[in-house]
Amino acid sequence: MSVATPASEMPAVVSGNLLDLRRTHLFERPGDVDSLAARLRGRLITPDSPEFDGARRVVNFTVDRRPLAIAQAADADDVAEAVNFARDNGVPLAVRSGGHSLAQLSIIDGALVVDLSRMKRVRIDPEARIARVQPGTTSGDLAGPANAHGLALSTGDTHSVGMGGLTTGGGIGYMVRKYGLTIDNLLAAQVVTAAGDVLDISKDRHPDLFWAIRGGGGNVGIVTELTFRLAPVGQILGGELMLPATRETLRGYLDYAVAAPDDLTTIANLIQAPPAPHVPAEWVGKPVLAILVCWTGDLGAGEQAVAPLRALATPVADLVAVRPYPEMYTFTAHFAEPHGASIRMMFADDLSDASLDAAIDAMTHASSPYSLIQFRGLGGAMARVPEEATAFAHRRRRYFVAAIAVWLDPAENPASHEAWTAALWEKVRPDGNGVYVNFLENEGPERVREAYPPTTYDRLAAVKRRYDPTNLFRFNQNIPPWPDDSNGAQPEPVGASLAMAGIG
Ligand SMILES: Cc1cc2nc3c(=O)[nH]c(=O)nc-3n(C[C@H](O)[C@H](O)[C@H](O)COP(=O)(O)OP(=O)(O)OC[C@H]3O[C@@H](n4cnc5c(N)ncnc54)[C@H](O)[C@@H]3O)c2cc1C
């Protein structure tokens, strides 16, 4: 299937400069938007549509942007129509699946947003253990139907995150040590390129593109379907184990998390204990280590595997039990609520006592009771995939560390929360390097390079040059198609378009 405008016929310059945008013929002839609407099987929502305010909202409530229009795609052909329209009219193009972009890049002022949130079809072949999902599907949308067949895919820790954004970045989930990243289970995909071609890709078909969408974060195309291998996981031993937060418990967690059997994946959130029925009153507001435990092996052996964590200290609360895998999402359901966030993330191989002390101290004095400092022990299956196999190269790192300020009242000033994140970041940063692209904010080109070691970066840039030579897909952690030494010869600096959109 093809709705191609060959790359050779694409305009030499596709400007994302929003001042230029006002000069495009689109603004002079708004009827063109109607022509796009007429070609879509889905809906085109414009600022005068009653649905506009709802459609431009994402999970981060500080994002209050007014796109030119939102194309709620029904299928890949709709996506291709929107891509062709944006490219041919010089209109900036943003892509939204689940709307959880930590960099706030899925809704952009003045852009045409390709909104895939209505593309939620999930098809499961239980015999073949394969799921075909559309990009607007969330982790939760997939987990339930898969569990009905005793199957699961390791995605993220929160039910509402979209498979489109999560998968294109990599996907670090509850079973990463046993079943690898989400992309390690991706067998094939359907992608719409900047030329408007709808391509079926796999390791045998367009292997360069298939390599790049597994970690390249939306730089090379818009994914319209994902085909995954599912794991035989129904019941797990899982839930939340809450321990007092001390240097010893944190150190004990970090040591064990990477030494445990692969069947045990954990995510430890340093938080202020919430006022919840399972939390003793004397602990509420105090720093605790809330460890999300997911054991996928023999259920009888699970207790033994979790025992070293329970032995680190007398638990404040222990909700670890045999349960269906999708119930893991009940422990993080609050992350899916609208919120503001300020985040800094790094990979680390060792963490100093000074960093652990700084983290506990920061949590004691957090600017918001909803903030967290997240530690994940990695390794296992994720580390056994060769670094060059996908565009996610940080395979051998031991720890994922993220400072995440979270606030729930839109009236709060983000500045105090951002200052909290920045202060902690300054203290722990010497222990880390490298970042997971899906946990980057808009932190500049140097940090994008931290997400991609040089070999990966250069290979991604080559794929970008081939499939998106004018950088139509620029609202992402951008890998420009032009070489570093082009001395600004590119149509316009990516940083400039972000700044114009108010997010630089
Ligand atoms: C509360 C919360 C919890 C999280 N937990 C985890 C976790 O446990 N593990 C983990 O790995 N990540 C996690 N993340 C990060 C998450 O993977 C990224 O924020 C991801 O980009 C969100 O995907 P989305 O589709 O919801 O976002 P969107 O905002 O819709 O998209 C984000 C970006 O992804 C790209 N993109 C989206 N859809 C497509 C597509 N179909 N084709 C090509 N590019 C596309 C675009 O560049 C877009 O700007 C979490 C994020 C949040 C907010």
From ligand 1's centre to the CA of 276, what distance in Å? 29
The pLDDT assigned to 374 comes to: 98
> In this predicted model, what pLDDT tens digit does every residue of 256-296 receive, in sequence order?
999 999 999 999 999 999 999 999 999 999 999 999 999 99
The pLDDT assigned to 498 comes to: 57
Domain ranges of the chain: 7-118+452-500, 122-229, 235-445
* For the CA of 98, the nearest atom of ligand 1: 26
Give me the CATH topology for the region 7-118+452-500: 3.30.43
Cα dihedral 41/47/53/54 (nearest 10): 0
The pLDDT assigned to 12 comes to: 28
What architecture does CATH give domain 122-229?
A: 2-Layer Sandwich (3.30)
Count of C-beta atoms within a 10 Å radius of residue 454: 9
DSSP state of 322: E
What CATH number has the domain spanning 235-445? 3.40.462.20
The phi, psi pair for 112, rounded to 5°, reads -85, 120
Closest protein CA for atom 19 of ligand 1: 101
The pLDDT assigned to 491 comes to: 46
How far apart, in Å, are the Cα atoms of 430 and each of 14, 277, 298, 445?
A: 39, 38, 39, 19
pTM over 0.95: no
Residue ranges for the chain with pLDDT beneath 70: 1-31, 484-504
DSSP state of 60: B
The pLDDT assigned to 486 comes to: 57
> Strands 69-72 and 112-115, how do they pair?
parallel
Contact 52, 70 (CB under 8 A): yes
From ligand 1's centre to the CA of 268, what distance in Å? 21
Q: What is the DSSP string of 152-201?
A: B----SSTTSBHHHHHHH----TTHHHH--GGGGEEEEEEE-TT-BEEEE
From ligand 1's centre to the CA of 57, what distance in Å? 15
The pLDDT assigned to 484 comes to: 65
Helix axes 414-428, 353-364, angle to 10 degrees: 160
Q: Name the token pair of 127.
A: 């015999």
The pLDDT assigned to 503 comes to: 53
The pLDDT assigned to 485 comes to: 56
From ligand 1's centre to the CA of 252, what distance in Å? 31
* For the CA of 117, the nearest atom of ligand 1: 30
Does residue 409 come out as left (phi exceeding 0), alpha (psi in the -120 to 50 range) or beta?
A: beta
From ligand 1's centre to the CA of 281, what distance in Å? 36
- Please list every protein residue whose CB sits less than 6 Å from any atom of ligand 1: 59, 95-102, 105-106, 116, 135, 156-158, 161-162, 164-166, 168-169, 171-173, 218, 222-223, 335, 438, 475-476
Closest protein CA for atom 15 of ligand 1: 438
> In this predicted model, what pLDDT tens digit does every residue of 349-376 receive, in sequence order?
999 999 999 999 999 999 999 999 999 9
Contact 83, 16 (CB under 8 A): no
